[in-house]
Amino acid sequence: PHIKPDITHVIFDLDGTLVDSEERYFELQKHCLRKYGKEFGIDQKRAVLGVTTEVEIRTIIDHYNLHNVVTPNAYRAVCFLL
C-alpha cells in the first residue's frame, strides 16, 4: 500500500522572497573587513551574491589577499557570529 506523508505544504524561501537579507550581509561584510583594513564595495558584493557562506568566505579571503592574516574558520567566527 502507498502511504502518504503528513506533509501538506512546502515553503521555498528564495533570497528576497520572505526576507531580504542581502543589505544586512553587505553591512556585515563592510564592518568585518574594516577590522582587516579593507573596504567591501558593491563589486565584491556582486561577486558573492547567491553563493554559500563557505564560497563567500573563500572568495573574500582570495580577493583581499588575507591568506596570511585569517583562516576561513577564523573569518567565519569573527564576521558571521557577531
Close Cβ partners of 19 (under 8 Å, ≥ 6 residues apart): 13
Instruction: Let me know if 20 is a catalytic residue.
Output: no
Kindly state the DSSP code that residue 38 receives in the 8-state scheme: -
| Catalytic residue from among 6, 13, 20, 43 | 13
Instruction: Let me know if 6 is a catalytic residue.
Output: no
Close Cβ partners of 49 (under 8 Å, ≥ 6 residues apart): 22
Catalytic residues: 13, 15
